[in-house]
Amino acid sequence: MLENMSTNQRVLLATVISLVVFIVYDYFFMPQNLKQNLDNNKTSTKIEAPAKSQTAAPVQADSNKMEAPSQGHTAKNEQLLKITSPKFDLFIDSLGRVSQVILEEKKYKNESGAQIRLFDENKLPKPLEIRFSDASLNEKSFKTPYSYEGPKEISLKEPTTIVLKQDLGTVGVIKKITIYPDGHYSANISLTKNEDYYISPGYRPNVRVDGYTLHGALIKEADNTITIIEDGDAKGTEVFKKAKIAAAFDRYYTTFFYDLKKGLNVVVTKDSEENPILFVQGSSNFQVNGYFGPKEYETLKAINPELTDVIEYGFFTFIAKPMFKALLALYHFVGNWGWAIVVLTIIIRIILFPLTLKGMLSMQKLKDLAPKIKEIQQKYKGDPQKMNAHMMQLYKKHGANPMGGCLPMLLQIPVFFAIYRVLLNAIELKGAPWILWITDLSEKDPYFVLPILMGITMFIHQKLTPTTITDPMQKKLFTYLPIVFTFFFLTFPAGLTLYWFTNNILSIIQQLIVNKIFEAKKLSKVSKEG
């Protein structure tokens, strides 16, 4: 089919595919349950915990199920203590769980100007929540408050350990939690009697959930495989033995357990909306490490470099991760995230220039051959085989490649996708200013200056780029593309729009250079022939 298509149609196809995949899939694709996820329900989410099993491995999803008791059958949920620090405020409730985390740094503010709260208070489970396999014991655990002997408010300046105790009659629970100022913690759970139970890192943060970024659960397995279960895709109980990391996350924030040496037996269940819920199988003397907070690369790396695997960019992560590291290095060099994006864009264009130049020169040749191509098409329009044969002869004679302008563009798509994902998911851009009116690169341009400039530069580049398109419908499609892109970019993060705008500027410069090179070659050829 491709070989029977004209060059115009091939280029058009490449553009349309890029547009559809890049915009429609990423921007419009939204899981059917997303609207429900964004809706703050007034009732607690009921989650089926793993069933009791005879071994440490598979869990019977359809037997011995247990849920968190409804609000009317639980102990009065009171605040047990508050831990304050420059980075966050942490609240622990009377059921020995992390009930809320408030990020206290200036840049972590929501649309109304209030400091960001990581967790939806109506969503269960909460971090460090225990579910027993024994239904009666589980019910009792939600009715019996923990005791705590110590100050009701702690100022966290160094690692601090707190001890929580719960007396369930037949078994006693002791939670010994050490909290660190950077947001990570270690928890030791000890039981006075052997009972099967599961403990959760909590329901994913519910701060930034949208239709074009990942949110759900991530498991780093024993063999270092990364498995992601997105919201709406959880199909039932799944078990991951000896997993290194079990994370619940939204666009920018995460809560997770990790054990990078021995591993964790992770169980993924689902709620009524088929969102994944994480539990880890405990023991009578169980040790686990955890973290809650933003997915900041340097923070996670400082705790342990392996924890940066929690930062995922989707299909093109293998390209996006090194690209983010390059962006981070440039930020440390220039001191501003906006200028780091500009410099990175320039570097990418320099690296891709040989490929781009080849495509541009090919398009110039095809533009010059356009009249002859049209003549062949009209002459042999009733005989496709003869038409293709004469077209190939024409291309060969003049050294033109009909796919020369199309392939370089297609080969660059993974790079564009990768930088797109980096700029959408990098929490580091939150609250990061660029110039004058751009005070937050993770948010849209408040005055839409960048999207409009992006559209104008795209239009200019389009006018400078040679084309052999003669079909009126195809011409119209290409004419409207800058308008379509401008419309979509109105709500995109300013950092992403800045990348695209800079890329357009560089494309214009490159096209002007190539046009001059080609004109010089033509004049040289004419003078030689003369």
Say whether both 307 and 328 belong to one domain.
Answer: no
pLDDT score recorded for residue 61: 35
Among 256, 288, 312, the domain boundary falls at 312
302 and 326 co-located in one domain: no
Query: Residues near 66 by Cβ (< 8 Å), separated by ≥ 6?
Result: 48, 49, 51, 131, 132, 133, 135, 138
59 and 206 in a single domain? The answer is: yes
39-93 residue pLDDT tens? 333 333 333 445 433 333 333 333 334 466 655 556 667 899 999 999 999 999 9
- Per DSSP, the chain holds a count of helices (H) and strands (E) of 12, 19
Q: Global pTM?
A: 0.80
Residue 510: both structure tokens together:
């490159």
pLDDT of residue 59: 39
93 and 241 in a single domain? The answer is yes
Contact predicate 307/298, CB 8 Å: no
377 and 260: one domain?
A: no
396 alpha-carbon distance from chain centroid: 45
On whether both 305 and 448 belong to a single domain, the answer is no
The whole domain housing 443 covers 322-529
Condensed to tens digits (0 to 9), the pLDDT of residues 360-397 reads 777 777 777 878 888 888 888 888 888 888 888 888 88
Residue 21 lies in a domain: no
Distance separating alpha carbons of residues 351 and 372, to the nearest angstrom: 35
Total domain count for the chain?
2
Shared domain check, 289 and 358: no
Instruction: Return d(Cα 29, Cα 20) in angstroms, integer.
Output: 11
Same structural domain, 304 and 327:
no
336/290 same-domain check: no
299 located within any domain? yes
Cα→Cα distances 170→147, 183, 282, Å: 17, 34, 18
What pLDDT, on a 0 to 100 scale, did the predictor assign at position 520? 80
Query: pLDDT value at position 528?
Result: 67
Q: Which residues of the chain have pLDDT under 70?
A: 1-76, 211-212, 402-409, 411, 466-471, 525-530
Tokens (6 digits) for 24: 């429609």
